[in-house]
Amino acid sequence: MKPMINVLIILFGVYLLSCFALYYFQDRLIFFPPEPQEDVYQSVSHNEIRFSDSNEKLHGWDIKVNEAQSKTIIYFGGNAQDVVYLNFEANEFNVKQLIAINHPGYGKSTGQPTQSSIYKNSLQVYDWAKEQYQLNSKNIIIMGRSLGSSVATYLAANRKISGLILVTPFDSIENIAAKQYKYFPIKLLMNHAFPTIDYIGQVNAPTLMLAAEKDEIIADENLENLKQAAGENNRLVRYENVGHNTIQEHIEYYSEINKYINSL
């Protein structure tokens, strides 16, 4: 009997250590902030923008596309994405300009990436861009990819916008993690739930969701939960034969976005 008790004590200790490890290392499991690639940054330095809020310095790009258009996209990237690369696809969008600012701790933006800092950053970016470029909220489209889709939804629930584009969106990181670590009390351990599902119902603007049929990260259930919570004013498009990181390679990806933009 005693050996069995000792085994159970050891197993329980291992379980507690695993819980501690998940809690302590969760930032590393969620955020993958890229380092600036100086040659890439230099090639688009003419588009660089910077502004400060509190003690943080935020860095990104103002990309002019077509002055004849009226819409501006404010873009938020994924958990391992440097938005500098939006410079190289900007001409695919039927808009006047794209504004993309890296999350805190990403690229040359200072600070630490957390749910709180990234959500707060999105509001600061919107307020700054609206004032800096004298934007009318009727011409502002918010776009977010993966992690950025949660950020974009939070922003859209708290500011007036024309439209919301979500690329590979999800209901919450907490729900995704709960499936991956189903034997652990994820709700108690998570500091960065990114609960998109809590905000999507508060968005008044029409919403376009673009999903990958072969998404290796976002399960169908996580997507469907979000769609159900979004209400009626949304459209979900699933693309075949593309994954979480290759969805933009689908032949209809940009045309679908532009059709949506032209409808606003």
Domain ranges of the chain: 31-263
- Rounding to the nearest 10 degrees, give the CA dihedral for residues 106, 61, 249, 211: 60
- Please check whether residue 131 is in contact with residue 124, taking contact to mean a CB–CB distance below 8 angstroms: no
pLDDT at 177 over 90: no
Which of the residue ranges 2-11, 93-102, 213-222 would you say has the lowest mean pLDDT?
2-11
pLDDT at 12 over 60: no
Measured CA to CA, the distance from residue 192 to residue 186 in angstroms comes to 11
Max mean pLDDT among 31-40, 131-140, 174-183 falls in: 131-140
What pLDDT is stored for residue 188 in this prediction? 77
- Please check whether residue 12 is in contact with residue 183, taking contact to mean a CB–CB distance below 8 angstroms: no
Backbone angles phi, psi at 103, to 5 degrees: -60, 160
What pLDDT is stored for residue 21 in this prediction? 60
Mean pLDDT for 12-20 is 61
List, as own/partner pairs, every contact residues 33-40 make where C-beta atoms lie below 8 angstroms and the sequence separation is at least 24, other chains included: 33/80, 33/103, 33/105, 33/106, 33/107, 33/113, 34/80, 34/81, 34/82, 34/106, 34/107, 35/107, 36/82, 36/84, 36/107, 36/108, 37/82, 37/84, 40/84, 40/85
Q: How many CA atoms lie within 13 A of 217 on its CB side?
A: 22
Provide CATH code, domain 31-263. 3.40.50.1820
Give residues with Cβ within 8 angstroms of 210, minimum separation 6.
165, 166, 167, 168, 237, 239, 247, 253, 256, 257
What would the pLDDT profile of 77-86 be if each residue is shown by its tens digit?
998 999 999 9
Measured CA to CA, the distance from residue 250 to residue 255 in angstroms comes to 10
Give 31's pLDDT tier (boundaries 50, 70, 90): confident
Residue 138's DSSP bridge partners are none
- Please check whether residue 138 is in contact with residue 68, taking contact to mean a CB–CB distance below 8 angstroms: no
What pLDDT is stored for residue 29 in this prediction? 77
Average model confidence (pLDDT) for the chain? 90
Give residues with Cβ within 8 angstroms of 164, minimum separation 6.
141, 142, 143, 152, 153, 156, 203, 205, 206, 207, 208
